[in-house]
Amino acid sequence: MRNRFRASIVYAIPAYLVLVFLTACAGRTSSGSPQAAAPPDLNGVWSAPFTPDISKTLGHQPPFTPYAAERFKKEDEVDDPLTQCLPIGPARGIQAGIMPFQIVQTPTVTAILFENQHTFRIIHTDGRSHPADVDPTWFGDSIGKWDGDTLVVDTIGLNDRTWLDTAGHEHSDQLHLVERFQKIDTNNIKWTVTFEDPKFYTEPWSITLPITRQNTEIMSYSCEENEKDRVHLRRAKK
Amino acid sequence: MRLILSIALGLAFILLSASAPVLAHHGFVVEFDEKKPITLVGVVTKMEFMNPHIYFYVDVKGKDGKVTNWALEGGPPNVLYRQGWRKDTVKPGDIVTVKGYRARDGSNLASCTTVTFPDGREISAGPGAVSQGGYKK
């Protein structure tokens, strides 16, 4: 009887120690810091203020290269890709005023569904890197990672066919976006986007906009359904 | 109490929506002239509650008795829907007074800012002018 009790103690103590060790490991990340809390929940329908001229938010014109400055002088709203019913692009979609967007968040992927043009972004949050060879597309290749309460999204692989705003700030296919979606509270996100494009801008520049939760659902939108305006558009006199 | 709160929130949303800027698929100034406001009174002949902007048509009788059919462009239907519009809010046969701005190309087209019915009800129809959220560079 005593031997059986002694045997159970001999087995129980190491088992207990292993359990304590595993429990401690589970509470730490690989860097040894305490385990981060679950990322904030960004799910919902959101909207940021309509930003037709990004330079007004910035307080001045972005740092144009001579090439970009020359193009901007000649740019006309008639040439806005949206006028042609083309996709809005990743950052401009966030700034689309009262056409809201929906964020659908899972542990490995976060999708942004834009009401405008019914387009969407896919942000991979599974730890992958950008592909070595990216074909430029309307919304590019986005990867995201959590930095505390902030989803940091890195986007490359964008084509040069979208505008950054209605005013006609353009970009090339070398555009690199870094966005920070910082959850402030249940109904508010602070969104900061940094534009880096050596062909159009001499240095990276950023704007910050408040994103607020909307008491609505995203709705259907087809730009081509009954488009009748293009034939009436006139260039501004320049 | 909950009902009153819901109504209050709904009204607040409608008011906010009505005054909020709109991004549709084109800017205001490339199509309409802010210096050419217009008021039209007539009978609605057709409503197209469709993307990317609603269009409706109004027969307007001139001083010479000649009837001209005007096209009126409002905001995107989803934006107007959130303001309380439905596809039959303005329908054929309605007598309306429409305020807006003429198209820059001189055609019988105008951007519609408000629609007023004979009983005095006035409803916002979208961005309409630069001062109401349209964009000017």
With beta carbons under 8 A apart, name residues in chain A contacting B103.
232
* Backbone φ/ψ region at A117: left (φ over 0), alpha (ψ -120 to 50), beta: left
Cα distance from B6 to chain A (closest Cα, Å)?
12
> Smallest Cβ distance to B78: which of A49, A219, A235?
A219
By Cβ distance, the residue of B31, B78, B137 closest to A53 is B137
Domains, chain B, with CATH or none:
2-130 (2.40.50.1010)
Task: Give the residue carrying structure tokens 């609603």.
Answer: B54
For residues B56, B62, B66, B68, the Cα torsion angle rounded to the nearest 10 degrees is -20
Q: Which residues of A touch B31 (CB under 8 A)?
A: 229, 232-234
pLDDT tens by residue, B44-69: 999 999 998 999 999 999 999 999 99
B48 contacts A226? CB cut-off 8 A: yes
Q: In this predicted model, which residue has the larger pLDDT, A231 or A64?
A: A64
Strand pairing category for A150-156 and B55-61: unpaired
**A198-229: per-residue pLDDT in tens?**
999 999 999 999 999 999 999 998 888 888 78
Query: What distance in Å separates residue A196's CA from the closest CA in chain B?
Result: 24
Mean pLDDT of chain B: 79
pLDDT in tens, B105-118: 899 999 999 999 99
At A83, is the pLDDT very low, low, confident or very high (cuts 50, 70, 90)?
confident
Longest dimension (CA), chain B: 57
CA distance A101 to A106: 16
Give domain limits for chain A.
1-35, 44-226
Distances (CA, A) of A225 to A166, A218, B49, B57, B109: 22, 18, 10, 18, 19
Residue whose entry in the numeric block shows the structure tokens 């001062």? B131
Using CA atoms, how far residue A118 sits from A122, A158, A220, B82, B95, in Å, is 13, 18, 7, 17, 35
The backbone torsions φ and ψ at residue A42, rounded to the nearest 5 degrees and listed phi first, read -100, 0
Among the listed residues A20, A226, A229, A138, the one whose alpha carbon sits nearest the alpha carbon of residue B127: A229
pLDDT in tens, A28-54: 444 445 556 789 999 999 999 999 999
In this model, does residue A153 exceed pLDDT 50? yes
Interchain proximity A236–B137, CB inside 8 Å: yes
- B25:A232 CB<8 A: no
**Of the CATH numbers 3.40.50.300, 2.40.128.20, 3.40.50.970, 2.60.120.260, which one belongs to the domain with range A44-226?**
2.40.128.20
Asked if A98 and B20 come within 8 Å (Cβ–Cβ), the reply is yes
Which chain B positions have a beta carbon within 8 Å of A230's beta carbon? 26
The set of residues, in sequence order, having a beta carbon less than 8 Å from that of A197 and lying 6+ positions away, is: A171, A172, A174, A175, A176
